[in-house]
Chains A and B, each alone.
Chain A
Amino acid sequence: MSAAAARPLVTVQSLESDMATDANSVPLPDVMRAAIRPDIVTFVHGQISKNARQPYAVSKRAGHQTSAESWGTGRAVSRIPRVAGGGTHRAGQGAFGNMCRGGRMFAPTKIWRRWHRQVNVTQKRHAVVSAIAASAVPSLVLARGHKIEEVPELPLVVSDAAEAVEKTSAALKVLKQIGAHPDAEKAKHSQAIRAGKGKARNRRYVSRKGPLVVYGNEGAKLVKAFRNIPGVEIAHVSRLNLLKLAPGGHLGRFIIWTKSAFEKLDSIYGTFDKVSEKKNGYVLPRAKMINADLARIINSDEVQSVVKPIKKEVKRAPLKKNPLKNLQVMLKLNPYAKAAKRMALLAEAQRVKAKQDKLDKKRKPITKMIDVVPNCIWIVYNDPAVGDVFLLWLVISLEEASAINSASKSWYKTMISDSDYTEFENFTKWLGASQ
């Protein structure tokens, strides 16, 4: 409801009997811009339609008009109460239970069932207002199923000459002139026998609904003229019925207004600012969103200027690679890893080399005597007791000497440990005496 800028005008359709100069226009009453609330309408419609119900119930004595008593146990029959007496089929038959033939039903229907429903007055009014507003939207009227392709304008307002129409044939002509005939025809062609039991229960025929003609002046002849046309219904403006405005709870009945009816709408329902004259203290309901045109809001300057640009390319998460296996990924996470790894590799290489050297040394024979001989010095040593002792002074390098030394030492150690010699090491102990 753009601040009632210029309330759009609705042209009044003129009929044959009008003076050509009479065609004019009426501003749109605010009712037609009220919030359209299908949820409220469905609810209220459901509740209201319960109000015309007539109670039904089973007779309260049904199934109890016997003096049946149970035979108890011991007679090889089930224990339900059985009809007393004799001499007839009925004797001994089960009675009273819902499972028995001729017994009373389960939970016999009562007339004091709550047939009618109360609905808050404002809710009822809101529903009516919504329904009227919906009747002004061609899409909704079409969606409800009315044939309005030839209607010149919605909401359809007809000059008051229509209220004076007396004959049904004239009424039909009026409908044709204003393009409402296809809808009335649709209703006429749809008359059929109801499917289901209803046809045997005084609801034999069904048909579609046609236009609803709303008039403003009491006692207009129009009522009698239009009421016999199949599908067409009449209503006075001040007594609009939700069950007629939204049949079946569905919004968007095709309504034909007369000019006086249309003009009265404003006083009956009020405007958004003005209180209604006829309904005490009533103001039209406000919508949750004043401007419900999402597309326009989204594309408006105010919104677009603040909104971030569209992300055209979709960023997808890359496959996670395992840093423990993939060096590049590891480096991305921990650049020091490269240096650490390099150092580790070098250290490893060194360690390997050192070990290998050690092993080589151990495994390679220190020096074969024969190889060394040319490098030896014979030393003759004259021992008076023994004679000449030829000592062989091996020329061995210092490293070799120390290697030999350590080799022999470790050999001795392993010998000891292998042979558990430690206890024998101290002869003193062994002998058990100290000397």
Chain B
Amino acid sequence: RRNEINVTKYSTTPPDSDPTGRRQVHSMLKLYYGMNEEGKVESLDPCDINGPHFDPEVYLNKLRKECSLGELMDHESCTVKQIRSLDSDMQTLVYENYNKFISATDTIRKMKNDFKKMEDEMDCLSANMAAITEFSAHISGTLQDQHAQITKLSGVHTLLRKLQFLFELPARLNKCLELQAYAQAVSAHRRARCVLQQYSHMPSFRGIQDDCHVIMEQLAQQLRQKFRDGGSSAKDLSECVELLLQLDEPAEELCDKFLSHAQSRLEADLQGLEAELIDSLVTDTGGGLVQKTNPGSNPVSPSSSSTTNPFLSPTAGTDILEFIDRGCNEFVSNLCLVIASYQELFINHPQEGELASKKIPEMANGKLHVFVDTLAARYFSLVERRIQEEKGVGDNSLLVRALDRFHRRLQAISKLLPGSAVPSQGTEIVVRAARERIKQYLSALQTFYHDSLTDVRQALAAPRLSVGGASASGGGATSKDATPSLPELLTSLSNFILNQLKSVLASVHLFTAKDITFSNKPYFKGEFCSQGVREGLVVSFIKFICQSSRQYCESAGDRGGSTPPALLLLLSRLCLDYETSTISYILTLTDEQFLVQHHTPVTPVTALCAEAREAAQKLLNHYVKVQGLIISQMLRKSVETRDWVNTIEPRNVRAVMKRVVEDTTSIDVQVGLLYEEGVRKAHSSDSSKRTFSVYSSSRQQIRYAPSYTPSAPMDTSLLSNIHKLFSERIDIFSPVEFNKVSVLTGIIKISLKTFLECVRLRTFGRYGLQQIQVDCHYLQMYLWRFVSDENLVHFLLDEIVGSAAHRCLDPSPMEQSVIEVICERG
């Protein structure tokens, strides 16, 4: 009907205004939907006959201007046609609307009649309703009494049910007890407890209460028993504890019990560990030894027979990783479990009502800390003992992995127990172990160094014997094939030490590997690298080498050269090599591997180099001294044991002089193997042929002649003193330079000076003097080539012959030519 009305309303509007009205509706809709722009464009054209801004004048003018007459005519006819059709449309619409209007009027009239009828019916209804209300009031009045009775009865019923619960409670509790449904029992008791308490003055209730008490006591007893037995699982236990707490059991006691119970289990773990520790100790001592490295071909490999080799890994019953594993899996994880369940029970458990006021968490926490600390301390002591047994330094990775695991597992405790000191103590242990490890490595390196030296010594012992025999045919070079030569020994020793050091560094480096949990602790980032590895290991080892080298000089000197001279020479070269390159190489290597971020002062490379150089110098000096003394000893004996007064006319150079030259030659070869030639002063063209004898040289004739003529006793030593005034003082046992010539010069100086001193203690006959002349000439022929300044040899030999002449009872020197003939023949 409403539609109809709408239609009529539209239909009432004049038809010519219809397009505009519809357009308005349209435009409003468009406006609503946001599409108004299109309409605007459309509407702007005044010539659009359907547009809103249509201007007939403009349109007409436009047509007139633009169109031809024919077109205008067509247009006109078209327009007329359109107007006509529009007119007819409009008429139809007017008719339709009229009809609708009439039918609407009819309908309204009909409605008026219907409403009147309905009004009567409504009046009747209201009368009926009033009657119903009256009846209902009546009924409820009659039912009132019965209702109150029923309510009372239902209340009694509830109470009776409660009472029944109470009366049945002891039985029920008993049943629960039988069925071990403790939780049910406790909750039941809890419900009844207050009531029983309230009505305990009534005998019947009192009886129930007492019964309950007895039963609950029994129950608590059972719970405690269960708690104590400890066979139950953690879950059971926790349930147990919870129930006991609800039964007003003192929390402190429970904590203690719980902990002591846990302790007994953890103790068992610890005892297992301890037993293993003792086992491994027993097996360790009896265990076989496995050699880790076997550089068989190397001449200075540590002797395989050596049982003290620290690079052997002990094949113990269990290795440390297994041990720590066991410790972690059994003890630490159990401890964690205990901590977790304990915390669950006593600390994190939400406490309700009266329990909350007892401050259980604080108390429990305190107990837990003490508990954990004591047990952890024991555990740590075991672990430390085990770590201390880890003496073999062969494979470090096992230890590091074990420590890592140890450390990692302790982190769990730190998560569980935030305030605990245990993890930091664990870190302490790891740090201590690392420190200890470094010390062990150092001592292992030292032992290794000693062993290597012993091997070198043994290797040297063989060629030294053959040098003695073969020196006549060209010194030590001939024995090269049979045994390793000095340079080979040196390089192999040096390489061997370096490799060992490198492998130790690699082992130690494991401590700082990225995947190791404790490697990012401040100790391992800083102090371990700088103080531990660099200072404690590398620098100490280098210092040790220098120091042990120096000891060779000090101890061996008095006890008659227990150190073979070749070893001294070799060590000296080793130290020198260390000074020039090896030390800085090792330290650079160390610094690279262990990026030192610590700012503590470290030993500078230069200080170490200086120390190494000092050691090298000392060794070389000592070498010169030892070799010099060996030759001196020969010369001394040869001078002291001979009767120089009654000797026969010299026909030969004495064998000892030949021996001296031979030995010097072999020393020359030996030193030449390790040290550079060095600088010497230019030789005069006829060095070996120099007419050395004091008696044939005109200048020296002046010098010595007066001493044989009694007329001028005062001039005896004058010229020789003048000569000495202008020549430099010769230091006999003076430091030498690091080259062959300097070493040989030192040795020859010592030998000739000894010769001189010995000659001065003797008295000579004529032939004794001549023998000395021959000997000195022979030495002159061969020794000049070894020294830096041949004048030195000349000077000392002059002195010897001069002194012999002084000490001669009948000084008549031998002819120079004869001396030369004898020397060349010998």
Partners in one complex: no
